[in-house]
Structures are given as C-alpha cells and as structure tokens.
Structure 1
Amino acid sequence: MSPRPKKNRVPIPAHVAAEVLFLADRTCCVCRDRNRPVQIHHIDDDPGNNLVQNLSVLCLECHRETQISGGFDRKLDAAQVTLYRDDWLRVVADARATSGSLRDEDRTVGVEVELATSLAEIYRDQEDWVGLALHYWSIGNDDLAARYTSKAIEAGVSVQTKVLLCTRIAGCANLVTTAEIEEALTDTSDWTSRARRLRDLGRTAEAVSEYISGIQRRLNDGNVFTAAYYLKELSESSLIAELFKIALAESVAEDDLWWQQRAMQELGWTEQRRNLLLQNAERIRAEGATHFLRELAWAESDEQAYVKARMDEARSRAALRVTRETTGKHD
C-alpha cells in the first residue's frame, strides 16, 4: 500500500499566529501549564488550513499526543483538542473581562472538560454516533454535533431518532423530510417526546398544549414529581416567550395597541414598548382609557400624570366593587 500523500504546508501568517497566541494567553489549552513552550497546532492535521478556528495552542508534550498512532496510548484527537481549546478560550476571555488577568485556578483543567472528553471517548469507542451527536450538542459544539448526526443517519437510525437529531441540532434540518417528521409525531405515545419535538420544530402552540395536557394527566394520576418536572421544563424553555411573540403579531395584525404594548411588557422589550406608546400618544389621549393613560405617563416619565392615572383607576375600581357588592352581580 502506497503511503498517504503529504499535505502542503503553508506558513501561518504572522497576524493569524499572533491572534491565536493572544486568545490562548500563549498557554497550552490542554495542560494549561504556562511554563511550557508552546506551538500552534492544526486541529484537522492539514498544515495548509490556517483558519483561526482550525488552530489551537499546545505545548510540545500535548502536541506529541496528537501524533500517536497504534500502541496503548490514547491519541488526543481533533474533537478532544477542539473541546479543550474552546473551553480554554472561554476561560481566558472571561478572566480578561473581569480582572484583566488569569488566576492560577483558572489554569487548572476543569472537571467538566475532562468529563466531556471522557464521555466522547466512550461514545466513540462504542460507535454510538447518536450519543456522540447529542453529547456535542449538549455542550454547545454544533459543528461536531452536526458531523456525528450525519454519521448516525448514514449508519442507520429509527425515524424517531432521526427527527430528534435533525430538529434539535443546528444545520441538520435538511436531512429529514416533512413526512418523516409527521410520522415521528404520530407514532410516539410518549407525550414528553412529542412536546419536545413540537418545540424543536417551532410549533409553539402545539408544544405548549402537549406539555399542559401531559402535566394535567400526571397530576390527575397523582404523579406530582413528573408534573412538577415538566412544568419546570416548560417554564424554563423559550416557549412562553414565543407565545407572547405570537400574541404580539396577532395584536399588530388587529391594530390592538393595548395588547401590543402588554406583549412587549411581558417580553421585557422596554424600549420598544416605550417607543410604541410615545408614537401613539395622541391616539391614547383621544381614547381616554385610564389604564392606557397610566402606561403613557410611564413612557413619558410624567410622574404627576402617572399618579393621577393611578388614582383615577382606584376610584373606578372602588366604585365597580361597591356596585357589584350592592347588586350581587359579580360577573
């Protein structure tokens, strides 16, 4: 068998090398020992690929581990180097942003990074490409997640798993068909899986409905922990914000100014809400609704008008309550 052709080495431009070394604080991203001499390593082993995202800073000893082939030693492969590099660059950037310098403890290899690389090795050794794709997705490495999603699909997976990977991992939506998505949603009897798939597909209202009905069933069955767990998952997801965005779009279409500003208020869009109220000040004053005048006073930073609107609101509510109690009509 003929030897593999050598790839052409292209010198790393000085400005690229300077940027890479600066971002890494001239420190090996694996051992993080600042006293060791370092060199710039091409992660994909292509000495002609001098893109910053393909370069990492390694000491001579750690670089040797990327060259291991055969034997009992474990090779430091491209995926592992990428994990160490990305985590180290984050540590350096965070340290510079807060104190301007790195503490000794920042240079210690984090338990989470070691665990991430160890888990990746387990999945790779078992050829569990689905587990590897989801692992890289869970730690925010979209490129590797997409790579192993493709590998998993090539190896053969169920429709359910294919839809799970392709709807969750960035850049993989084109690998699954609409028919496969609908099949996966129809076939599963697991409401949590269906709710999550709908969420990942951006079908917000359907996802929320699935969560709520499933949570209600768990409460009816006396399974309080499961109900609480998925209620927490729902509340921490982006689904609630997405519902407010849908409500905002509907109120815009209906030219309903009150619910536009309320949706913005719930979304935390303070400046957009303020601008909307100020742009419609004349209309709000013409309508004369006390609750709306209160919000306009807030937008205009008019304390006197705000206090007056609140007092007018209190009078109206008090009068309404008295009327209800007197007549016995509470509808």
Structure 2
Amino acid sequence: MNKHGIVVQQLASVYKTSGRGIKEATFLVEPGEIMGILGSNGSGKSTLIRTLAGYQNPTAGWYTIGGYDSRIAEAAVGNEAGIVFETSSYFEDLTGRENIAFVNKLYKQKAFDEEIVKELFLSDALDIPMKNYSFGMRRKVDLAEAILRKPKVLILDEPFTGLDYASKYVVQERLQRLAREGSAILLTTNEITEAESICDTVAFVHQGTIINKETVTALLADIVDLQEIDLHLKNFIAIQKIGEINGVKSVAVKDGRVRMSAERGALAEIIRGIVDAGGDICDIRINRATLADVFLQKTGIHLQ
C-alpha cells in the first residue's frame, strides 16, 4: 500500500437527493507524482475533493492520504495534506498576511516566506483586508498557504482558475518543485494547456466514474492517428450526416462550430461528404490533438 501518497479504492460519494456525485473511483498517486483529473463542470470533481478532504463521507469504498485512513474514525486528514478548494473562507477583516500567518501557526509552519508572495505579485496587496480582494487574489492566497506548508500530499480543486498567465506559470513551477521533493499532488481541472504542461498522469471523470488513468504521453499516443477538424458552416445540416462520413470518429457542435475527431488523411473525403449532404463550408481549421480530443474520444462529449 502507498503510505505516503494517495490511495483511492472503489470510492463512491453520492448525494441521496440527486444521485449525483462520484460513483466509482480507484487510483493511486505516488510520492513525486502530479496527477490531474479532467472533467466537465458538474461531473463530480469537486465532490471527490471534498470527500478526500474529509468534508463529505464516502457512501462506499475507502482512501488513504499519507498517514490518514478513512476507515479509522480518529484519524485527521488536515495534518497530512494541503488542500485548496475551488472557493475558500477567510477572516475577511484580517489582511492577507494575517490570514496566511494564522494558517502557518495552525500547522506550526516556520517563519513567513516572502518569496512566493513576490512571485505571485501579492506583495502590494498583502497588508489590506481580505474583503477587498478579487477572486484571483484570493486564489493566490489559497495557493500560497498550501504551498508554503510543503505537505507530503497536496490536493487542489481547479487551482488555475482566476489566475493570470504569469501566476499560472509560478504555480506550475512551485508544484513541480514540490513533486521533485517527494510530494504527491492531485489536482482537478478542465484547463487542457495546464494539465498537459504539469501533470505526469491524467484520468477523466465521466458520469461520476474515474476512467483511463495514464501518462499524458500515453493518452496522446492513443490518438496519434487522429486530428481535430474545426469548421464553420453557412447553413445547417444534421450532425448525424457528418458523423456518418467515412473517417469521422466523433462530432459535436460547440459555439456555433462543428468540431470533430477524424482519421488523418480523411479531410478531402470529409469535405466532399459535407458538400454532398448540402453543407456550405465557410472555413476549416486543423488543430493538433490535445487531451480534450482524448476526452471526447473516450466519453463522446466535449470537455467544458
């Protein structure tokens, strides 16, 4: 058993009223590994994080986080893991510095570290009350608090939401540094670029089930023979007709554009098939394959 990372075994956390949530999750996050979980909004990512953090009881299965075992009632996850939720609560009348200092004292953290504050461009705002912070600034405080603890396990729910490009880069570099020092890191996201840049492994959550955990390289290799075609039509034709064209593997409409995964070399036949079906093409874009294409191939839906 992995005693210093994360072990999740046949875990379920389902809401009785709606039946939604996590229906089955089994995976490992080893020390030194950054694992990403990709899924559309409402797919159960935040439910998984809340369950692993101990804020929601599992309806089946179990998990371990470092020395914490969910099957042992007296255990406490807070001492084993740094956790960043999608939204967090603060003492609103205290400054950012005072809030960070409070958390440092709570977890017996050593002296306040100004370096990450400067890296995240928080220095000028650190001494004003949190009630005056924007969402992005609050997010930076969340991440600074968690990273400063240098926990053995770090669990992050949508960590890049609300961050500017420069701050995303800083957070990625800091997380990679923690992983090199042996931390096991689990994060949820639907931001493809960040997931491909930082994660060693990725799994998808679809209809409440965690599926297809693989290395990013292995997942992308699965669609090496596919390409994403993005086109705009002047007129409407049934999407089913496009899906029936030889070489098309999956197709959907998003933001008024037709997006499909197709076999390489099939573009000419696809154009001919659309024209024969009565379609009038305005423009076509050919994009490199990404984890979004893998997600579409595995689940049949677009990542949103």
TM-score range, shorter chain: under 0.3
- TM score, norm. by length of structure 1: 0.24
Pick the structure with more strand per residue. 2
- TM score, norm. by length of structure 2: 0.25
Pick the structure with more helix per residue. 1
State the structure with bigger RCO (CA 8 A, min sep 6), 1 or 2.
2
